[in-house]
């Protein structure tokens, strides 16, 4: 017996009762609110980290992923929001983060030794709600293990964070969340800037501070974004590295050295002093 449209509708609605409020009502897709990352160039590129969405930041080791997360945590904790960091490899640096502006009493740090406890912790925290930013750091976990995480796990996390004010950030070496991520950033390091460009020039005539890490330059590419449409790529034209989907940013070191200091006190940096210091360090 053929079903009428109204009876079909009634049947579907009664079957989904309690799970879906109104299955036939069109839900307008509204742009999520965004919060700043703490790095101006990235904010300009992405428009900020979207709330209620999964943001994936990936890249190789030393590419600047942790620095971006650290900056975002600093902004959110200083705004008075509670944040959570699920550290799958126990790699977080509280001392450096406090120096970068992270207000540690508002940061819940979960130190895991493995990916399974980390995923379980994230699930509980996202379902508990109330956090401004939840970060899952899989940066030092083997990419093979992270790839084994089922896609439905990422879907579950995305659903958990949906329609909440929580920014959910995942750090990894490769992109894994696929279409579950609303914003995907690929970061890589370009150069490191040292106070002396070539080590040989220092020779042994210099002891500390003869050569210091000043800053490092990084590049971020926006691989996916629901907020901004990507530009059309043409097959016959080479893909420009300096397109509007990439941004360069500079990260400063704690031990940044002023070049002027190097030139104003050269007489202190002698071999004798260096050897004397080595003999009597205290």
Partner 1 sequence: MTFCAIFVPNFSLQAVERAEPALRNQPLVLLDGPAPTFRVIAVSERARLLGVSNGLTKAAAAEFSGVLLRLRNREQEAAMHAALMDAAWSVSPRAENTALDIVVIDLAGMATLFGDYEGIGLQIQSRCSELGFHVQVAVSENPETARILACASPGPTVVPAGQESQFLKPLPLELLAPSEELAEVLRRWGITSCGALAALPVLSLSECVGQEGVHLHAIASGKGERSLILAEPTHTFEEFLELDDAVEELEPLSFLLGRLLDQLCARVAARALAIRTIRVQFELQPDFEEAFDASREILRSKQLPGSFHCSLALPRPTQDSKLLLKLLRLRLQGKPPHAPVQKLWMYAAPDRAFAVQGGLFQPAAPDPDKLELTLARIASVVGENNVGSAEVLDSNRPDAFRTNKFSPLPVSDHRRKNDSANAAEVPIKAKIGFRYFRPPLAAYVEISDGCPVRVSWKGNTGKVVHAAGPWRMSGQWWEEHAWHEDAWEVELSFFGKTTLSSGVYYIVFDVLQKKWFVRGSYD
Binding to partner 1 (CB under 8 A) within 186-245 occurs at 189, 192, 194, 199, 203-204, 208-213, 215-216
CA 28 – CA 2 distance, rounded (Å): 32
| Among positions 3, 23, 44, 78, the unique one binding partner 1 when judged by CB under 8 A | 78
Binding mask 110-129 for partner 1 (x = CB under 8 A): xxxx---x--xx--xx--xx
What's the closest the beta carbon of residue 206 comes to partner 1, in angstroms?
A: 10
Residues facing residue 251 across a β-bridge? 216
Q: Which of residues 126-165 bind partner 1 (CB under 8 A)?
A: 128-132, 139-140, 143, 165
CA 196 – CA 198 distance, rounded (Å): 6
Should residue 248 be labelled a site residue for partner 1 when binding is judged by CB under 8 A? no
Which CB, 8 or 40, lies closer to partner 1?
40
| Among positions 100, 153, 227, 262, the unique one binding partner 1 when judged by CB under 8 A | 100
CA 14 – CA 59 distance, rounded (Å): 47
Q: Which of residues 33-62 bind partner 1 (CB under 8 A)?
A: 38-39, 60-62
Contact 170, 121 (CB under 8 A): no
Which CB, 140 or 162, lies closer to partner 1?
140
Which CB, 16 or 62, lies closer to partner 1?
62
Which CB, 238 or 282, lies closer to partner 1?
282
Looking at 131-246, list the stretches that DSSP marks H as alpha helix, in order from N- to C-terminal side.
143-147, 151-161, 199-202
What's the closest the beta carbon of residue 134 comes to partner 1, in angstroms?
A: 11
Site size toward partner 1 (CB under 8 A) is 85
Stretch touching partner 1 by CB under 8 A, among 5-13, 20-28, 102-110, 259-267: 102-110
Q: Which of residues 257-276 bind partner 1 (CB under 8 A)?
A: none
Which CB, 23 or 128, lies closer to partner 1?
128
**Residue carrying structure tokens 């590129």:** 45
What's the closest the beta carbon of residue 268 comes to partner 1, in angstroms?
A: 16
Closest-CA residue to 183 (of 220, 238, 219): 220
Question: Measuring CA to CA, how many Å separate 153 from each of 113, 122, 224?
Answer: 19, 11, 20
Q: Is 141 helix (H, G, I), strand (E, B) or coil?
A: coil
Closest-CA residue to 137 (of 174, 184, 87, 183): 87
What's the closest the beta carbon of residue 231 comes to partner 1, in angstroms?
A: 26
| Among positions 7, 8, 93, 159, the unique one binding partner 1 when judged by CB under 8 A | 93
CA 57 – CA 186 distance, rounded (Å): 6
Q: At what angle do helices 115-128 and 151-161 cross, to 10 degrees?
A: 20
């Amino acid at each position: 017996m053929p079903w009428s449209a109204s009876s079909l509708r009634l049947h579907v609605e009664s079957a989904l009762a309690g799970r879906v409020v109104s299955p036939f009502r069109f839900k307008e897709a509204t742009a999520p609110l965004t919060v700043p990352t703490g790095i101006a160039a990235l904010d300009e590129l992405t428009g900020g980290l979207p709330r209620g969405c999964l943001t994936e930041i990936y890249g190789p080791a030393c590419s600047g992923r942790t620095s971006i997360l650290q900056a975002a945590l600093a902004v959110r904790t200083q705004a008075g929001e509670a944040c959570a960091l699920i550290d799958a490899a126990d790699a977080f640096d509280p001392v450096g983060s406090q120096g970068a502006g992270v207000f540690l009493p508002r940061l819940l740090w979960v130190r895991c030794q493995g990916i399974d406890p980390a995923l379980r912790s994230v699930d509980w925290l996202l379902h508990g709600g109330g956090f401004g930013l939840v970060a899952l750091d899989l940066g030092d976990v083997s990419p093979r293990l992270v790839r084994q995480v089922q896609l439905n796990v990422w879907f579950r996390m995305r659903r958990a964070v949906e329609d909440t004010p929580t920014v959910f950030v995942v750090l990894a070496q490769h992109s894994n969340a696929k279409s579950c991520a609303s914003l995907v950033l690929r970061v890589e390091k370009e150069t490191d800037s040292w106070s002396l460009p070539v080590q040989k020039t220092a020779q042994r005539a210099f002891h500390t501070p003869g050569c210091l890490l000043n800053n490092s330059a990084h590049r971020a590419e926006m691989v996916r974004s629901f907020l901004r449409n990507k530009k059309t790529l043409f097959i016959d034209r080479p893909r420009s590295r300096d397109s509007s989907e990439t941004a360069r940013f500079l990260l400063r070191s704690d031990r940044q050295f002023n070049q002027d200091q190097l030139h104003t006190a050269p007489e202190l940096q002698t071999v004798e002093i260096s050897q004397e210091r080595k003999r009597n360090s205290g």
